[in-house]
Amino acid sequence: MTFVFHGFTVFVFHFKLEAMSTHINAPEGAIAPNILLPGDPLRAKFIAETFFENPKCYNEVRGMYGFTGTYKGVPVSVQGTGMGQPSLSIYVTELFKFYNVQTAIRVGTCGAVNADTQLRDTIIVNSACSDSCLLNQRFGNMHYAPTADFKLVKTADSIAEKMGIRYQVGSVASSDFFYDKNENWKKWAEYGVLGIEMESAELLTLAAEYKRKAMAIMTVSDHILLGGQTTAEERQTTFTNMIKLALDTIVAQNK
């Protein structure tokens, strides 16, 4: 648009500020290429306000907060995904399809299913099994193996080792049930799965579909086999370690 002001022609540029997708109300360029994905939107807010430099909120639709800032100078975003694979699927599809997100790390909690895994342990997820019908709908009677990006896993592994935290690299199972009367976890445990959660398989599958990089990092919040839950204070410390591990992995990838 142009108009004439005191004899001079003035150009007014119209920036595209409208939202680009249904569930994320952010303009083009408001979301960084690297993103952390907690299930809980209040965790997204906490991560941005605690760890980011200059955090700015880009999404409040349905209370599913999204923020962008920098961490150690690297642009990074954090977006709540809600609980369960269908909810995560909505947000991650929009992030990949409309906002050009390239690297996504889910940060969440899981329940442990074997005696070698303890409460508060960190799990770097290299693959995710699932009992969800989302995989059936995509693959029918074929069996896809949702797999994390190897470089992300390798980088997180070396950072976790340097941090000196208790951690394992392995698979989780993304269940559609939190309250699972079938006790599917017993079968997963027999096959070496380390923890049960509800979102990672869909994230890794979408990353494959859109040719992006993804991984998940979990802390063990409850022990399904042995019983017991972490206290709020313990959850805070392990949560902080997990977020630092995820953010330092992103920084290392951007060097």
- Residues with a catalytic annotation lie at 222
Task: Give the torsion sign (CA, 137, 139, 143, 147).
Answer: negative
- The nearer residue to ligand HPA, 34 or 87, going by C-beta atoms, is 87
Smallest distance, Å, CB 120 to ligand HPA? Answer: 13
Among all residues, whose Cβ is closest to ligand HPA?
A: 111
The reply to whether 78 sits near ligand HPA by the rule CB under 6 A is no
d(CA 154, CA 115) in angstroms, rounded, equals: 25
- List Cα–Cα distances, 97 to 65, 185, 202, 209, 247, in angstroms: 19, 33, 15, 11, 23
- The nearer residue to ligand HPA, 175 or 253, going by C-beta atoms, is 175
- The nearer residue to ligand HPA, 81 or 221, going by C-beta atoms, is 221
Q: What is the dihedral of CA 120, 125, 129, 134, to 10 degrees?
A: 110
For residue 11, list its beta bridge partners: 2
- The nearer residue to ligand HPA, 10 or 115, going by C-beta atoms, is 115
Query: Which residues between 221 and 240 bind ligand HPA (CB under 6 A)?
Result: 221-222, 224
User: Pick from 76, 59, 63, 69: which is nearest to 20 by CA?
Assistant: 59
Smallest distance, Å, CB 224 to ligand HPA? Answer: 5
Binds ligand HPA (CB under 6 A): choice among 196, 206, 242, 247: 196
- DSSP state at residue 147: B
The residues binding ligand HPA (CB under 6 A) are: 109-111, 175, 178, 196-198, 221-222, 224
